[in-house]
A and B are shown apart, each in its own frame.
Chain A
Amino acid sequence: MSTAAGKGISGEGDVRSWKREPIKPGKSDDQLQALAAERFGLARDAKDRWNLTMTLAAGQAKAKLHEVVRVLRDDPELRFDMLLDLAAIDYLSYPNHRGPRFAVVYLFKSLVFRHRFKLKVEVEEDDAELPSIHDLYRIADWSEREVFDQMGVVFSGHPNLKRILNHHEFIGHPLRKDYPCQKRQKLSINDPMVDQLESRLKHFGYQVVDSGEVHLGAPIAAKHQSVAEQGSVDTQKQKNAAGAVGAGGI
């Protein structure tokens, strides 16, 4: 494998080294269950009869979640190097449900071994907060934003816990069971995202002196803006002839 040296993309989470070799058999669900029970004191979730789900109780989540996930990722026998997704569930109207109202399910997959793992973290309604794992997996940044947006679970230590699917003026969390399906909200101005851009520039060592005039407005207005400006960029500098066709040749 030849990766272009020094051309890495920059993100928040760190990355583990990867060696290309065939996938190994990995551990069975029973072995993983025994391991998780012994190392972290996790219990198997009775709701999942098809895959292996281990539950981390609400009281322990804040103290243990980050460490558990780090071990899952780094342990040479486990190597769960991919965080596939975060699925948040609201058990408000689930029949005969006991325990905290919310749960966030972390779906892990190993690319070294042929095994998967689901970590279900219980979340209390009046203390809906979990530690962020954005420093372990880069995708966690956006996945956690989605859970926050849709279900209202806060991730402490997240660098930019904004809504991601919904408009930034949206009130409430639509996937909660008590959010009415037909409810309407009036949303007006786009998120300028200047703060995000400035923090990215800061990441590269630039200090923003003057944000200048930043164009906001509705999607249609943004369209005209981008088309006009882009045309001018490309005609200004014809460094890349084919590029003018790609982005500016509208």
Chain B
Amino acid sequence: MRVLTPEGDHLDFMTLNMGPSHPATHGTLRIFCALDGETMKAAVCEMGYLHRGFEKMVEQGTYSMVLPYTDRLNYCSAMINNIGFCKAVEKMFNVTVPERCITLRVVLIELSRIIDHLVCSCTNLVDLGALTNFWYFFNTREEVYKIWEKLCGQRLTNTVTRIGGMYRDAYPGFEDDVRKVLVKIEAAVAEVRGLIEHNKIFIDRTKDVCVVSAEEAISYGWTGPCLRASGVDRDLRKDEPYYGYETYQFDTVVGETGDTFDRIMIRLYEMLESVSIVRQALDRLKPGPVNAPDARLSLPDRDRVYHDMEALINSFKLIYEGVRPPPGECYDAIEAANGELGFHITSDGGTNPYRIKVRPPCFTQYAAFGPMCEGEMIADAAATLGSINIIAGELDR
């Protein structure tokens, strides 16, 4: 591509397609850029390669049938999506789930946040050529997946919650397993911090690279760790607490400059905060029911179904028709691993959702990616793409 510079010189820019199937994109994203040597002079992004019509599909089935689809939004932390969706529908019913369910959900949210950050951080470091961290973090993640497997039989796409409660209570020994894995997570984070925090190559590659100021991040609608990396101390768990987050002791981790270094380090420190929340939640986990005692949402006991006509009808109606939220429109959000994950649900009072709009946190981050990279080195763009943690499943829906 031949261009005329403002100074009147002729330059040859090379146009380059990075993706859609490039290893550094960790999914299917396309970045089309004009290169002057190794510098990206202009970059435009394309998405939609993983678009499968989530919002159209969910209109075809019942509310319970939406749950497995939500797993496939951010598949690195599927449980947070399950819980976010259930929380939104429960809000429409004005139902509060039992205490044990809330505490279990907090444990699952925070553990999911940890494994999401583990994947994001270590693959990001692989993009920078630091492969060792990958083994430290993926081994730890595997330990969490073993817990998931015991908890609900699934590793990646869990569908662990139900509207009004959980699929089932935690298995005996769940708490011990989680406590053991928390120690491993802390050890792994310490190892990785030891490897990178004062590593000259890592710092040179990430400090002051692809800086996003607080103002720009807000204008782009960033939320979550990326927003906090730019120095904006906003976290839904602190600002608009749900599930009793205001009663847990934890800090919001905030960055200084909003560069790639901050975005990577924030996730490492946030994992430690999440470990602390999980410990506190386990301490207050008391035995009790996990499903809301509400016939509109929860299946009756199996025993009652066989002996009680009303319970049989209730069970039948819930399985064949599912829940029927009152007609209207409701938005509810949750602090997912990537930022604010919101569900805008329109109900017509029927068994199928009339319309569900997902507010995926990484849509806003990817919108800023092109402008972020302009003027930076192409190799740094690969590292930055990892640091804003684009999950194509939730980006493209």
Contacts and interface: CB of A to CB of B under 8 A. Distances in A.
Interface of A: 1-4, 7-11, 13-18, 20, 23, 45, 47-51, 53, 81-85, 87-90, 94-95, 105, 107, 109, 111, 114, 118, 137-139, 141-142, 146, 150, 163-167, 174-175, 179, 181, 190-191, 193-194, 196-197, 200-201, 203-212, 214-215, 219-220, 222-223, 225-227, 229-230, 233-234, 236-237, 239-240, 242-250
A146 to B, nearest CB: 8
A165 B392 CA distance: 11
Interface of B: 1-6, 10-11, 13-24, 28, 30, 32-35, 37-38, 41-44, 46-49, 51, 53, 55-57, 59-60, 91-92, 127-129, 201, 204-205, 208, 211-216, 218-221, 223, 230-234, 239-240, 256-259, 326-333, 340, 342, 344, 346, 348-349, 354-355, 357, 359, 363-364, 367-368, 370-372, 374, 377-383, 396-397
Contact of A8 (B3, B19, B213, B240): B213
A90 B355 contact: yes
A175, A181, A206: most-surrounded residue (chain B CB, <10 A): A206
Contacts of B55: 150, 175
A220 B17 CA distance: 12
A9 B382 contact: no
A247 B381 contact: yes
Contacts of B208: 4, 7
A207 B42 CA distance: 13
Contacts of B23: 250
Nearest to A174: B56
A242 B129 contact: yes
Nearest to B371: A9
Contact of A10 (B15, B41, B257, B371): B371
A236 B16 CA distance: 15
Contact of B232 (A14, A20, A84, A223): A20
A114 B239 contact: yes
20 contacts: A11-B220, A15-B215, A49-B330, A50-B328, A81-B218, A85-B344, A95-B348, A105-B329, A107-B344, A111-B234, A138-B216, A139-B220, A150-B55, A165-B396, A175-B55, A203-B42, A212-B2, A229-B14, A246-B129, A246-B380
A203 B278 CA distance: 48
Nearest to A223: B21
A221 to B, nearest CB: 9
Contact of A206 (B4, B221, B371): B4
A247 B47 CA distance: 20
Contacts of A243: 38, 205, 377-380
Given A111-B232, A242-B205, A197 B44 contact: yes
Given A193-B44, A243-B38, A247-B382, A3 B213 contact: yes
B363 A142 contact: yes
A234 B14 CA distance: 13
Contacts of A81: 218-219
B374 A10 contact: yes
Q: Which of A2, A138, A210, A234 has the most CB of B within 10 A?
A: A138
B379 A242 contact: yes
A138 B365 CA distance: 11
A107 to B, nearest CB: 6
Given A196-B44, A201-B3, A247-B382, A233 B363 contact: no
A127 to B, nearest CB: 21
Contacts of A109: 340
Contact of A193 (B5, B46, B330): B46
A18 B17 contact: no
A49 B349 contact: no
A49 to B, nearest CB: 5
Given A9-B371, A50-B92, A181-B59, 13 more contacts: A3-B258, A20-B214, A84-B340, A197-B33, A209-B10, A210-B2, A219-B21, A222-B30, A226-B19, A230-B16, A230-B22, A246-B380, A246-B383
Nearest to B240: A114
A200 B42 contact: yes
A208 B20 CA distance: 25
A16 B219 contact: yes
A48 B205 contact: no
B17 A234 contact: no
A222 B17 contact: yes
A245 B128 CA distance: 7
A20 to B, nearest CB: 6
Contacts of A20: 214, 231-233
B53 A50 contact: no
B367 A242 contact: no
A243 B317 CA distance: 59
A174 to B, nearest CB: 5
B340 A50 contact: no
B38 A239 contact: yes
A4 B211 contact: yes
B5 A205 contact: yes
Minimum-distance CB pairs A-B, first 6: A243-B379, A245-B129, A87-B357, A200-B42, A15-B215, A139-B221
Contacts of B218: 15-16, 18, 81-82, 111
